[in-house]
Amino acid sequence: MLTNRQLQILRVIVDDFVMSAQPVGSRQIAKKEGITYSAATIRNEMADLEELGFLEKTHTSSGRVPSEQGYRFYVDHLLKPQVISGNDVEQIHSLFEKQMFEAEKVIRESANILSELTTYTTILLGPDVKKHRVKKVQIVPLTEQTAVAIIVTDNGHVENRVLPLPSGFSPSEIEKMVNILNDRLVGVPLQDFHLKLETEALSILKQHVNAAESIIQSLVSISADQSEGKVYYGGKSNMLNQPEFHDLNKVRMLMDLIDKKSQVHTLFNQQQSGIQIRIGSENNHLAMENCSVITASFLLDEEQQGAIAIIGPTRMDYKRVVTLLEVMRNGLSQAFMKGTHDKL
């Protein structure tokens, strides 16, 4: 059990190292407001904290830096939410005041805002779009040879694909086709779209629309390749600005991990309600040994959750990130649940 003096010194060391990325010395601590101990006393306590595994001594300085164990203790026992500025809160809240409730736009903009406010990398895991139901199908001609097929779901998800038009395919045939598709497929889950298209709509389309088969195949491909939980990024390159990541090998490993969607999903494995913090080796991946990941869940509807991950160095400003995440996840949950109830 740490003494009150050791707790105070550990907190100062973590807070200072987060801000400066430089080892913290006893004289530096002794000058802090509220510290009444001599530099010699502080040095002794720092030595004890090092022996207990909470601090590490670097080879370039007589100062100390937090160890992974020190960060863990700080996060579990010493972390207090930071009071963030009104401008930061306003920037987050402005996202939900735009009344532009298209799910993907809201999530994408959330990732950008969080990466800007934290200076770290943000990853948001969106809903499993396969469960969304088709709200509208559109086919919009671009040229005489091409059109764009658009599927809009009830949760504001939009899928589109440029497709070739058969030679001589007239606007009236496009209109007939769109009417049949909407008549037969509105309300169908996106994961069942291609099956319903082939079993219920195809025979009617063949009766009423000439040369519809090639367009049907393009529509099938839109829904057939959906993956669970779409991933959105903000500030992907922000980690390059951190002094811990001037080592090109470290950067390459981390970027490879972030770019692989299957591995990104592991950051959210067993995500529980609320906010979770994993530090260094707790992430169980060599590329993440110098990183901390803070994740938070938010409600998408009565059945689904989305998730946010902030990736930064272990020398992360935990107080600020946790507070910003709490504000953002509450805002997202309220906005999505309001949007869900407005549709009822």
Final residue belonging to a domain, choices 204, 224, 244: 224
161 and 248: one domain?
A: no
Element of type H or E holding 57 = strand 55-57
Q: Which domain holds residue 171?
A: 130-224
What per-residue confidence (pLDDT) applies to 223?
A: 60
Which has the closest alpha carbon to 136: 205, 78, 183? Answer: 183
CB 121 within 8 A of CB 234: yes
DSSP string, 8-35: HHHHHHHHHHHHH-S-B-HHHHHTSTT-
Residue 94, exposed/middle/buried by CB under 10 A (0-12, 13-18, 19+)?
A: exposed
Specify the residue for token string 């937090």: 66
Q: CATH no. for residue 164? A: 3.30.390.10
95 and 158: one domain?
A: no
198 and 263: one domain?
A: no
Q: Which of 9-18, 50-59, 141-150, 167-176 has the highest mean pLDDT?
A: 9-18
Please enumerate in sequence order all residues whose Cβ is within 8 A of that of 264, keeping only pairs 6 or more positions apart, or say none: 123, 125, 231, 257, 258
CB atoms within 10 A of CB 244: 15
141 and 186: one domain?
A: yes
Please enumerate in sequence order all residues whose Cβ is within 8 A of that of 135, keeping only pairs 6 or more positions apart, or say none: 152, 153, 154, 186
pTM for the complete prediction? 0.76
Residue 344: which pLDDT band, with cuts at 50, 70 and 90?
Answer: very low
220 and 234: one domain?
A: no
CB 33 within 8 A of CB 8: no
Query: How does the average pLDDT of the chain come out, rounded?
Result: 86
Specify the residue for token string 């969304």: 132
119 and 137: one domain?
A: no
What per-residue confidence (pLDDT) applies to 155?
A: 72
CB 241 within 8 A of CB 281: no
237 and 113: one domain?
A: yes
User: pLDDT, tens digit, for every residue of 181-235?
Assistant: 999 899 988 888 888 888 888 888 878 787 777 777 777 776 655 555 678 899 9
Domains held by the chain: number: 3
Lowest mean pLDDT among 54-58, 105-109, 140-144, 210-214: 210-214
Average pLDDT (162-189) is 88
Q: CATH no. for residue 39? A: 1.10.10.10
Q: CATH no. for residue 321? A: 3.30.450.40
Residue type, 287: A
169 has pLDDT over 70: yes
170-204 burial by CB neighbour count: b if 16+ within 10 A, else e? Answer: eeebbebbbebbeebbeebbbbebbebbeeebbee
Q: Give alpha helix (H) positions in the chain.
A: 4-20, 26-30, 39-51, 68-73, 86-96, 103-118, 171-185, 193-196, 202-208, 213-224, 248-259, 261-264, 318-343
What per-residue confidence (pLDDT) applies to 99?
A: 57
249 and 138: one domain?
A: no
Percent of the chain scoring above 70 in pLDDT: 92
Average pLDDT (23-50) is 94
153 and 220: one domain?
A: yes
Specify the residue for token string 């950051």: 267
- Check residues 208 and 80 and name the one with the higher pLDDT: 80
What per-residue confidence (pLDDT) applies to 65?
A: 95
What per-residue confidence (pLDDT) applies to 95?
A: 85
User: pLDDT, tens digit, for every residue of 224-279?
Assistant: 555 556 788 999 889 888 888 878 888 888 888 888 877 887 777 665 677 999 99
Final residue belonging to a domain, choices 58, 78, 98: 78
Tell me the C-alpha distance between 128 and 222, whole Å.
15
Final residue belonging to a domain, choices 192, 224, 256: 224
Average pLDDT (169-185) is 89
155 and 287: one domain?
A: no
Which has the closest alpha carbon to 134: 118, 146, 116, 150? Answer: 150
339 and 234: one domain?
A: yes
User: pLDDT, tens digit, for every residue of 287-310?
Assistant: 899 999 999 988 877 777 889 999
DSSP string, 142-177: -SSSEEEEEEEETTS-EEEEEEEPPTT--HHHHHHH
What per-residue confidence (pLDDT) applies to 120?
A: 95
Tell me the C-alpha distance between 145 and 164, whole Å.
6
98 and 169: one domain?
A: no
